[in-house]
Structure 1
């Protein structure tokens, strides 16, 4: 029978209101009920009114007529209904997927997926290429079902652990508790990562108007180099008051800067937060500017102890465990989150951002800009370190030590300004005409001659370091410990072979590496200008010996005249002319052999600016020949000549092995001496007076 239009309109209105609120099965049953009530033609009328397939309506009628029990709550279809899961159609899919993502990568070792991001799309593509067609969402479902999730890396591997690692942690904990129980401040110190200033990309995001991000440079390496301004935050975190102090430096992260930061914290906050304190415990990591190996760190702490009257105890964390230092996750992490997504355009921005750091647990942070100069290369002589009032703890004394305040001028620390004055006085000592071999006017003229070349060399080096032209005005950076004229003076003294680099380091308070670089650069310029610095007969083994000689309190070292006295005919058994002729024939061969050995050892020619044989031997080739002649005459043992020439027994043995065959080739036959000396003192006592020495009469 035909269903009229009025009923069709009523059905359409009813279905439009009702069906959106029913699930799939309920919709079928509702449609089937209406079709049964209409009778013949009801299926077509209901399908047209509901805009569904007649098959769906017939299925609803069939379900009503079947009389089956209702489905459990929450189910739309009976068990077994719907599309089969992909794992049922492809049982090997899960195994193939796990083979790609499991840590051991049991899949094809040559698969490109081993070297690319294991995203859902890449995994789906790789599986499809190996005969397992699957979509990316399905891969995600399968991974979650098998216990996988998106994860980053976890910094838990600490590498090779120090055997005293756990014991040191326990000892630091004991020291912290003991100092806090006594009311003494306990601070954690460290230097944060250096930050380049400018419109540079910054990690993280912050809220801004949509479509209006902060514009920054797309390549930060355009701003790298020694002339780019840096912010060097050094933090002091007070464990007792949950307060941080950050000293923002502009020069270098040196030990002097680290202690200056602690000094500024004590003056600004420490003394006020801990009135009446007599002790201070510092916990620090094992490296960086506060390394337990640095003498300058300990010397500056001794100066701080003397200034404040505090007994300073330092406990270092074992190497590779700096993340356990409290300042890392209680202060620095908060600062990093506070300036995320914000370009650090100036030192003022850095200071203001750090000072505004707060936490809900009560952390308060103060920051200050430090425009002081902290040059690199400052060295503390071992003699100065030994004078400091430092006592090592019984528990790993290298990491744990206490510095007592002292007012004794003989054992007290050396301040930075005092060290600069001592360096100026040492340079004046080196400028002595007896040491340089030239007058003050000649030395000044030489420095003026090399000055343009030195400036050009420095500019070239900085251009290579920064990778481009200068970004700041000349002179805006820090200055070194040695001026260009000082570098010329040091090179002249070294070329004169007066002392070693270590002696110059102790004398000037400058790191030996810095002195070596200055000498290498200046020697190259001397060669380019055709200037030769002749060697001196003076030798100084210590800085004190050189200073005493320059002041006139010590005569010339006795060593340079020793070979002249040992060449007496009474000892060598030949005239001085014969000995000189023999030495003249043997020494060139020795020098050629030594150069061949060094060429083979370095694998090529000597690089420009290298030492070129200065201080390559503890004794000269002439002295080696003389020692071999005396030894062959039976005047003493290896030990006797080792004491005489102030070298080791091994050095004397090597000289005898090298020179002996050359003497035989030159037809030298030694005549036995009448006396054999067991010590160097006995041999020196037998030497004739150099003023009455017979130059031509050998003695047998």
Structure 2
């Protein structure tokens, strides 16, 4: 039958009011009831009026006709209805997920996400790649169901504790109490983190007008070409509760650390403790005041000699620097005082530090230090042993005292080291050592200067990852570019090995080695060759110093270096000029023969980087030829000869066996000596005695 428009309108109004308040099942049954009342065509009319599928209405009609029981309260579907969960459909899904989020404990150590952020999207993408159909929300639900949550790291691991840690703490406490009871100063020292000056973001917040924050750079590094950096080195007086900060602008070295202590003593210490005879310093085990640094102890010895104080140093065990008083009684308050405030100038740094106070009465002073403290300064073992340092019975590595006087030599000051280094460089520039006059040396230095500057900038570029370096533009290197050229020339001429250069200049081997390596590469690139001396004369720094001061042999037995003595005509049977000519004649074919033999042994060309240094071999080629001549002359046995050249017997014999075929091939006859020495000392004594030079004969 035909349904009137009035009925259609009533249905529409009724559905509009009722359906939004019903759940899915109730809506289906309500629609089915209206369809049954309308009779034929009711299902289609109700579906069109309510805007639902006819299948939905028809399903409700079937449920009414079947007489299904009402569902429990709160349920819209029968139990078991709906789509199955992903983990039920795919039983291997959860184990695969656990293998990704916990590869070390539950899964594969080679998990593809072991080094990747384990976000929900990354986990879902990797599981889908493995064949598991899953979405990011489902991954989140599964992780929560298995007890996972988003967490950060927890700073709870203290690492391995030193077995003597507690004992050292007690010893430091006893030393502090003893010095304080006697009215002696006790200070805690350390260097604060290096800071850059500029409109850079600083951690923390401070009160400002709403909506007016301090504008700073949008990155944590500054890209300007001339950025100043400051290094605050603090001295905290544990008795007076006062702080003194030396703000350096160069390097955080041991020399800078002791200079900071010296400046505190001159500015405050000697006034606050006029009767002091001792000073106790508590410091970390590392950093610029490390107990391993010889320079730290040498500078403290110079400080003790200058002030007349007996300096006692107690280091905290490794890994316990936060127990040092300066950390939580001075540095922490300075950090809080300049929070949220850009350090735009030296004045801001000094005033901010000096304005630091606490309710317990802390007072802080700050001073700017424009001094230069270059890296690379070395103190030899002999120099360290000569200092008046006394190790304590308890933990002697960490506890020691330095007397103001004593020792075999006076500890050198920083200015004395600089003056000594300059005099040594002048000595090395001697034409007899450098192989060129001052004008030729200056031309070579000027020729390499642009390449050295480009190399320095390239090295900085690589180190900073492409960003412009933060530098003040001041040259603070221990060696200038010209100095690097000079020592490289001296080294390549085989005047002395790197160890002698280190002892002469007071520079550590790393600095010397890097300078020589870099300069040598520039020389090779520009095809500049340095002709070596045939015989290496100086194997000890003392020999070169004696040669430089022109000390007579009678006054100073070591004035004739050992290798120079071995070239005496009395030993070689020929004049030094003729010997030099012979060595120059043999050294090239000998080197060629050795290289051919090594080529056959290794079955190909030399690998890059092998035998890169001049003195990698125990003996130079000139020494090997000279030793063979002395052996043929029978001036002494193999053992004294090995002692004279500073090698073992087997090394010397191998060298002689390499040179003998060269002598035989060129038919060079060596006349035996008239006297055979039994020891090396006898041989050197005979050379040092006044003799008339006998040129001898050499038949070819």
TM-score normalized by structure 2? 0.70
Deviation at 1:263, TM superposition (A): 1.4
Give the CA RMSD over aligned residues.
Answer: 4.9
Contact 2:124 2:135 in 1 (8 A): no
Which moved further from structure 2: 439-448 or 669-678?
669-678
Aligned partner of 1:411 in structure 2 is 409
Residue 257 of structure 1 and its aligned partner are, at CA, apart by: 1.0
Residue 402 of structure 1 aligns to a residue in which SS? strand
Gaps of 5+ in 1: 1-80, 84-89
| Equivalent runs, 1:562-581 vs 2, <5 Å | 562=566, 568=572
Cα distance in 2 between the residues matched to 1:488 and 1:114? 49
- Residue 285 of structure 1 corresponds to 284
- CA pair 540-576 structure 1, distance change in 2 beyond 3 A: closer
Distance 1:342 1:643, change over 3 A: same
CA displacement 1:563-615 (0-9 Å, x = unmatched): 57598589xxxx99999998876542224556899999995256xxxx84422
Change (3 A) 1:388 1:135: closer
Say how many residue pairs are matched. Answer: 594
Residue 389 of structure 2 is matched in structure 1 by 390
Cα distance in structure 2, aligned partners of 1:525 and 1:467: 23
Counterparts of 1:697 and 1:281, CA distance in 2: 73
Partner SS for 2:236 = strand
**In structure 2, the residue corresponding to 1:401 is in which secondary structure?**
strand
Whether contact under 8 Å (2:223, 2:470) holds in the other structure is no
| Cross-structure match for 1:332 | 331
Q: What does the per-residue CA deviation read over 1:174-201, in whole Å, with 9 as the maximum and x for residues that have no partner?
A: 2222222222121111111111222222
Q: Secondary structure at the match of 1:391?
A: strand
Q: CA deviation at 1:477?
A: 2.4
Aligned to 2:449: 451
Q: Residue 510 of structure 1 is aligned with which of 507, 511, 529?
A: 507
CA positional deviation for 1:670: 12
Matching of residues 27-46 of structure 1 within 5 Å: none
Q: Secondary structure at the match of 1:615?
A: helix
- The corresponding residue for 1:344 is 343
Task: Give the one of 493, 511, 521 matched to 1:524.
Answer: 521
Q: 1:173-184 maps to which residues of 2 (within 5 A)?
A: 173-184=173-184
Contact 1:487–1:522 (Cα < 8 Å) also in 2 = yes
Matched residue of 1:333: which SS?
A: helix
Aligned residue in 1 for 2:488: 491
Residues in 2 aligned to 1:679 and 1:329: alpha-carbon distance in whole angstroms: 66
Report how far residue 314 of structure 1 moved: 0.9
SS in 1 for 2:178: helix
1:422 aligns with 2:420: yes
In structure 2, the gaps of 5 or more residues are: 1-72, 76-84, 88-93, 128-132, 553-558
Write out per-residue CA displacement over residues 662-691 of structure 1, whole angstroms, 9 at most, x where no aligned residue: 999999999999998653345678999884
Q: Counterpart in 1 of 2:155?
A: 154
The aligned runs of 1:675-690 (5 Å cut-off) are 678-681=678-681
Aligned equivalents of 2:249 and 2:603: distance in 1? 44
Farther off after superposition, 383-392 or 622-631: 622-631
Give the Å deviation of 1:553: 0.8
Q: Separation in 1 of the partners of 2:389 and 2:101?
A: 56
Structure 2 partner of 1:306 = 305
Residues 390/596 of structure 1: CA separation in 2 closer, same or farther (3 Å cut): farther
1:540 Cα deviation from its structure 2 partner: 1.5
Which residue matches 2:640? 640
**Aligned mates of 1:602, 1:388 — CA distance in 2:** 47
Distance 1:635 1:112, change over 3 A: closer
Contact 1:296 1:380 in 2 (8 A): yes
Does the 8 Å CA contact 2:392/2:399 hold for their aligned counterparts?
yes
Distance 1:350 1:679, change over 3 A: same
CA distance in 1 between counterparts of 2:177 and 2:272 reads 18
1:120 touches 1:140 (CA, 8 Å); kept in 2? no
Matches within 5 A, 1:616-655: 616-624=616-624, 627=627, 638-649=638-649, 651-652=651-652, 655=655
Q: Is the CA contact 2:387–2:408 (under 8 Å) kept in the aligned structure 1?
A: no
Residue 511 of structure 1 deviates from its aligned partner by 3.1
Helix, strand or coil at the partner of 1:219: coil
Residue 557 of structure 1: which of 547, 561, 564 is its match?
Answer: 561
Change (3 A) 1:514 1:112: closer
Change (3 A) 1:224 1:565: farther
* Range that drifts further, 384-393 or 585-594: 585-594
SS at structure 2 position matched to 1:220:
coil
Secondary structure of 1:429's counterpart equals helix
SS in 2 for 1:223: coil
SS in 2 for 1:235: strand
CA contact (8 A) 1:124 1:139 kept: no
1:639 deviates by 2.6
Structure 1 residues 184 and 633, CA gap change in structure 2 (3 angstroms): same
- Secondary structure of 2:184's counterpart equals coil
Shift of 1:382: 3.9
**Mapped partners of 1:582, 1:366: distance in 2:** 70
Query: Which residues of 2 match residues 35-434 of structure 1 at below 5 A?
Result: 152-154=153-155, 156-159=157-160, 161-223=161-223, 227-406=226-405, 411-434=409-432
Q: Distance in 2 between matches of 1:185 and 1:420?
A: 31
Whether the aligned pair in 2 keeps the contact of 1:316 and 1:399 (CA below 8 Å) is: yes
Deviations 1:488-512 (Å, cap 9, x if unpaired)?
3222222221112222222223333
SS at match of 2:263: helix
